[in-house]
Chains A and B, each alone.
Chain A
Amino acid sequence: MSNHTNQTIARISEIIIDELKLEDVTPETFDADLDLVDEVGVDSMDLATVALVLRDEYGIRIDEDDYPKLTTVRIIAEYIIDKQNSNE
């Protein structure tokens, strides 16, 4: 996995921990493959909030129809990197 992907995963983990006020977890220990809905307890409004912060951070729009696909931090990171690449 590239350094860029690792950095993106770490930053998204940080944003999720911060926005959703998750306790007992740090960006280093956050499992990027946890299912955000079933295992982390993220709901649709949490996801919309995270999507707005990611929009600020990376300057990309997250399509509403794509929300259901964004099931883990790793998948979100790959989604963002794909969007960034297609914007270049």
Chain B
Amino acid sequence: MSAQHQQYKFSEIIADPRIRERWEKVRRYFFLRESTYDMSNRCNIRCEGCYYFAGEKQFAIENSDENSWRRLFQSEKERGITFAVLAGAEPSLVPHLCKICYQTIPLGAIASNGLKPISREIDYRIHISVWGNDRTSETIRKAPNMLARQIANYKDDPRAVFVYTFTPENIDEARQVTKLLTDNGRQITFNMFSAPVGYQGHLRHTSETLKKTREVMSELLRDYPQTVLFSTYNIVAHTEKSALHELFSCSYPRMNSSMDVGLGRTFRQYRTDLQWDREAACCVPDTDCDDCRHYAAGSALVTARMYRHAIDPVTFSAWLDYVDTYLAVWVRGYDKGVNLCNTFITPPPKN
């Protein structure tokens, strides 16, 4: 497939049977409407650059009353939330609250450091954060043997997907980690370190580290297609010099004043005291928007820009690959298809 510059009708784009099939596959999931919940303000490790321990949310008082949480999730369901993202600090420290959420909202994902296994009865996707090999993890996360422990805890667990966060310092280590996960039959997807507001440390990406990350991601996607849940367009979207907001116009309430449709209308980010603040609400609050390349943010931002990408078959295929990847990473039971577009396309501008 080669990029064409003529204006295509949407009906012409989806006339291609491969594109139509993928479009029909992903569109069945357009009912997903997410909100996120900080389940605990405690964590069993402390990582440099952790966005949870930035800003005000870390000081919210932890509410551990089961009935309060049950009422919250019930009211969330009633307001149309169909997908729960449980984050933290560390949700595995409050398994009883995660279970209440699962019983009310059956689709969701949990972001965990993977050191304390989450009971299989909570059938959400589990995103296990990896920040490099065990030596690097020990330096940045102050925890020994992280990867070995994470793999042991989630051996043969179909809920698990390992999320490798590329920092300027661990780019080459992604090869070793991906090989190890392949040998253990596990899956990996990629995240980018995105600086919290005010962060001045050495983990902030530069043009050189973005370029190098792009090369390593491409190599791993090519060499480990069964293990790596990603696409060429994911690589583009997350390693461009411009961050996600500049490329795709962030639609989370924090950056979007419209309360009429989409995320601006439905999305909330609850803190551990069960309160939320529209001014701060996004999936990665207290991240610097100018440096936001976070995988969770991209899942919503790129997906929301379907119209922009429906300009020719190649560009729309790239968008479909992104959405297919996002669904495979976030939704239990969704299987990723073969990527349709293997060329680097430039994200289409707004007009």
B partners with A: yes
**A52–B310 contact, CB under 8 A?**
yes
**B261–A37 contact, CB under 8 A?**
yes
Within A32-88, which residues are at the interface with B (CB < 8 Å)?
37, 43-49, 51-53, 55-56, 61-64, 67-69, 71
- Size category of the A interface is 20 to 34
Interface contacts (Cβ under 8 Å), in number, total 54
Interface core residue of B27, B30, B264, B307 (most chain A CB under 10 Å): B307
Q: Across the two chains, which residue of chain A brings its CB closest to B257?
A: A68
**B261–A68 contact, CB under 8 A?**
yes
**B260–A48 contact, CB under 8 A?**
no
Instruction: Give Cα distance in the complex from A51 to B10, angstroms.
Output: 10
- Size category of the B interface is 20 to 34
**A67–B261 contact, CB under 8 A?**
yes
**B307–A64 contact, CB under 8 A?**
yes
- Chain A residue numbers with a CB within 8 Å of B310 are 52
Instruction: Decide yes or no whether B11 CB sits under 8 A from chain A.
Output: yes
Contact of B306 among A48, A53, A61, A68 (CB under 8 A): A48
Contact of A51 among B30, B251, B307 (CB under 8 A): B307
Instruction: Give Cα distance in the complex from A24 to B310, angstroms.
Output: 31
**A62–B307 contact, CB under 8 A?**
yes
Instruction: Decide yes or no whether B308 CB sits under 8 A from chain A.
Output: yes
- Chain A residue numbers with a CB within 8 Å of B307 are 48, 51-52, 62, 64
Within B1-20, which residues are at the interface with A (CB < 8 Å)?
9-11
Measured CB to CB, the residues of A under 8 A from B are 37, 43-49, 51-53, 55-56, 61-64, 67-69, 71
Q: A44-B261, A49-B306, A68-B260 are in contact. List 6 more A-B contacts (CB 8 A).
A: A44-B262, A45-B306, A48-B306, A49-B27, A52-B306, A53-B10
